[in-house]
Homo-oligomer: A and B are copies of this chain.
Amino acid sequence: MSSILKGNKISVSVFGQSHSQSIGAVIDGLPAGIELDFEKIEAFMARRAPGRNSFATPRKEADRPQILSGISDGRTCGAPVSVKIDNTNTRSRDYDELKLLPRPSHSDYAAYVKYCGNNDIAGGGQFSGRLTAPLCFAGAVCSQILEKKGISIKAHIYSVKDVTDEGFGLENLYDDDLRLDPFFPVISRFKGEQMKTVIEIAKSAGDSVGGVIECAVLGMPAGIGEPMFDGIENVIAKNIFAIPAIKGIDFGSGFEGTQKYGSENNDPFTVKDGKVVTVTNNHGGILGGITSGMPIVFKTAVKPTASISVPQKSVNLKTMKEEELKIHGRHDPCIVPRAVPAVEAVTAITVLDLVL
């Protein structure tokens, strides 16, 4: 069941490997009669696409989504919406030597054991970040439906290595002047420049850096979600970890909140515009697994790209001897900017399933 995000209403089946003929997705359970804005979908997907700027892998893909089914007269018709994206620019020979020489902190070794060596290693196979392209398609579709319900999703680069942006607060989240650059979204432009410098330094050293993405969902009504195993945190976390390189998630004040006293971390209630709200949002919009009506806010940790050019130690799985590995290929020195739309996309799918 690995390839299926299975919600109560919405399910998304993702397919493809980095270098298979196509990658794609089947989205089941969308409401019928929705007119989709394909320009907006492509603009969303462009944010994830490679080759945009110097911080990303130079591999270029048209990444044009082709609808196979589910749309009739320009509207969803109740049948699953399926999409494929062809893989046109593949260079499989880059990966031949990796078959027996697993890349450190990549899926190679674990996949080799699981699939008894039959896994498709080229480009990372099914573990490739490229598989987030169909996820972004699905997320863009779900976002459009959410918008009609007054729910919007925003995410920004919270940190790259040790450079930290401002965080989402109850003020800037509702600030109409908050403009997040689609390709390098940060709140503080100044911090953004510092992040770019950090990435450039890593790149020039053949190394990589990671970071943290912060994501918010605005407009969620209170009372959505379930206690215990199907709470908002449970399902968002489960789905966010589907994005390659994600290694952590916390909600509201999260790990930082463990440093506070209860009296500091608790969010007092007050009344605003006739509605019950909280003065602060350390709970990240979720109490007991259920929405409080405040913005859902979470942070998620993106590890430094595992593919780096500097030589690394690995083990030849045939000879069982240590060997030095030098990864050629094309790689992102920092995957964080391109992971932002993937985080938004997965959140959109998850949230749409919750509110339907």
Contact with B along A144-166 (1 / 0, CB 8 A): 00000000000000010110000
Do the beta carbons of B159 and A20 come within 8 Å of each other? no
A315 interface residue (CB < 8 Å to B): yes
Chain B residues positioned under 8 Å from A274 (CB to CB): 320
Do the beta carbons of B77 and A115 come within 8 Å of each other? yes
A347 interface residue (CB < 8 Å to B): no
A108 to B67, CA, bound (A): 24
Chain B residues positioned under 8 Å from A286 (CB to CB): 110
A310 to chain B, nearest CB (A): 5
Minimal Cβ-Cβ distance residue in B for A131: B228
A194 to chain B, nearest CB (A): 14
Chain B residues positioned under 8 Å from A63 (CB to CB): none
Contact of A237 among B2, B21, B104, B249 (CB under 8 A): B249
Chain B residues positioned under 8 Å from A268 (CB to CB): 104, 312-314
Chain B residues positioned under 8 Å from A283 (CB to CB): 105
Do the beta carbons of A3 and B210 come within 8 Å of each other? no
Q: How many residues on the A side are at the interface (Cβ–Cβ under 8 A)?
A: 149
Do the beta carbons of A254 and B301 come within 8 Å of each other? yes
Contact of A104 among B224, B278, B304 (CB under 8 A): B278
A8 interface residue (CB < 8 Å to B): yes
If A78-B119, A313-B279 touch, whether A69 touches B15 (CB-CB below 8 Å) is yes
Do the beta carbons of A248 and B249 come within 8 Å of each other? yes
Given A13-B26, A26-B26, A233-B246, 20 other A-B residues pairs in contact with their CB atoms under 8 A? A1-B226, A4-B4, A13-B28, A21-B66, A24-B82, A72-B118, A102-B276, A104-B266, A104-B278, A105-B287, A111-B227, A114-B222, A159-B258, A212-B255, A228-B242, A229-B238, A229-B242, A248-B250, A248-B254, A258-B303
